[in-house]
Amino acid sequence: MKCKDFLPLIDTYVDGEFDELESDELEMHLSACPECRKKVDSQINWKRSFKQCLEGETAPVDLRASILGQILTPQTEQQDEDENVLPLREKVATKKGAIAGLSIAAIALLSFYAVPKFVTVAPAASDTEPVVEQAIDWHTGNFPIEVTGPESDRIENWFVDKVAFPIHLPAFKDANLLGARLANLKERRAAYVAYDIDGTRLSVMLFNGDGLLVDTENIKNIKGRDIALINQNGYTVALLQNGGVTYSLTSDISEEKMTELLSSSFSAPE
Amino acid sequence: MKAPKNMEDEARKELEKAFVEEAVPHMDALYATALRLTKNKGNAEDLVQEAMLKAFRYFGKYQRGTNCKAWLFKIMTNTFINNYRKAKKRKEVSIDEDIKPLAERAVALERDPMQEHFGDQDTMFFKLFGDEVKQALEEVPFDFRIVVLLADLQGFAYKEIADIIDVPIGTVMSRLYRGRRILQSKLTEYAKEQGYLSDRVETDLEEKKPTSLDDYRNRRMNG
Ligand SMILES: [Zn+2]
């Protein structure tokens, strides 16, 4: 093979379209011809740089939420009748401060004493499923944010007179705190907090998980803490307790990625 | 846990689950490509949304476990082309040369920049001109741009690209070859304008074409 035969084949060769025998023949020429080798390297370089330059654009979280919101069936039964519960598709921010609950003083006390003490997610039955389903609904629904990030203090303060438990937002590595709103899980008032990690949305919900039971086979011990990891509808949902509050984390990342996220953000219990 | 109300609900849930597992993970790839097709964020979002909703509607016809990514790209590419045609009809004038037939827009290449390898300099284009690469790509006519994006951004094989855009493999090869060189010559121009490359670059006026796989294989058989 001569250079003039090889040159028109460079693209096809670099694109990996030749079979093994054919490639062998081309590589024989390449090993003997530094000129063509250089051109092949140049083309490989080009392809790699082109990809690097254009990849890494991730679909905006809003787009993702909008598409999934139109595709997935919402779980709205029962909830609409409860006037203390937000309709899932509600478009407007809710009444602020109209929530019955503890006084600000009582909440301050609560958050003071609720030092991050570890409570095992009670092992046993299968009461988690509605919680997991609803956590995914909140994650995929395109609900308006009522308080915007990125300052976690601002969001934690906003919830003070709205929920009856202390809000301590976990700090995730490389995460952008988008904002938060009131939500509900199993007719319990919950805080919904949205993060963006490298273009992937992570939804964290905080709620009172008293009486919440988790199937033992879903429980993993991560850095001394029992965490329930559940895969459903392509989403990974993690449930854990921290400082007497139950946290759900929902995202479409792998279980390993979720584990990584959890071990970096929740310190080991005392 | 509530039992599903009826079979229909259950089937719908199954479909949603399969779609979330197989199709949704490709949304970022679709978006990255849509950005370079539509040339702006809003239009790219609209295109991805339209394609994904269409894909969900037809998802019952998609054979699970086959090439979902290629299937989604085919839907998105067709959606894009159809929208272009509609836009053209509405305006009664061509928006840009993307919609002219191929024969009317042969792009004159003075030389083949790929054959004048720049050694270490070819990665320089990308380092120096991140935005210029995007801009140069926008100037590459659609038929060429789409194959370069499918091959070099998404890593599809020739056969997959042929299926996505409904042309023979030979056409994929020649468009890819030409598309890459149009883009490279545009970047060379930028580099010269900016003074990163000297004006004196050996010109290779001979028009080179990729050898078709069949020709190559025939020659091997006979020679
Ligand atoms: Zn050679």
Q: Could you tell me the pLDDT band of residue B108, with boundaries at 50, 70 and 90?
A: very low
Residue A197 with chain B: CB contacts under 8 Å: none
User: Which among B35, B117, B207 is the top mutation candidate for probing chain A, defined by the most A β-carbons within 10 Å of its own β-carbon?
Assistant: B117
B25 touches chain A (CB under 8 A): yes
A187 touches chain B (CB under 8 A): no
Question: For chain A, which domains are there?
Answer: 3-116 (no CATH), 119-265 (3.30.200.100)
Task: Determine the distance from the C-alpha atom of residue B206 to the mean position of all C-alpha atoms in its chain, rounded to a whole number.
Answer: 27
- Token pair for B53: 């909703």
For the ranges A52-66, A169-183, B47-61, B98-112, the one whose mean pLDDT is highest: B47-61
Residue of B2, B32, B209 lying closest to A55 (CB–CB): B32
Q: What is the pLDDT of residues B59-75, one digit of tens each?
A: 988 988 889 999 999 99
ipTM passes above 0.90: no
Residue B186 with chain A: CB contacts under 8 Å: none
Q: Which residue has the higher pLDDT, B22 or B207?
A: B22
Residue of B17, B180, B208 lying closest to A8 (CB–CB): B208
Q: Could you tell me the pLDDT band of residue B128, with boundaries at 50, 70 and 90?
A: low
Q: Which residues between 41 and 70 in chain B have a beta carbon less than 8 angstroms from any beta carbon of chain A?
A: 41, 45, 48-49, 52-53, 56
Q: Class of B97-222 per CATH? A: mainly alpha
Mean pLDDT of B43-55: 95
CATH topology classification for B7-90: Rna Polymerase Sigma Factor; Chain: A (1.10.1740)
Q: What is the pLDDT of residues B132-153, one digit of tens each?
A: 788 889 889 999 999 999 999 9
Min CA distance, B16 vs chain A (Å)? Answer: 6
Bridge partners of A230, per DSSP, are A237
Q: What is the pLDDT of residue B77?
A: 95
Question: Among B74, B188, B68, B180, which Cα is nearest to B122's?
Answer: B188
> Rounded to whole angstroms, what are the CA distances from B50 to A43, A73, B30, B72, B78?
35, 18, 11, 11, 11
Sequence ranges of chain B with CATH classification 1.10.1740.10? 7-90
Q: What is the pLDDT of residue B223?
A: 54
Cβ neighbour number for residue A50 with a 10 Å cutoff: 22
Contact B152 A25 (CB under 8 A): no
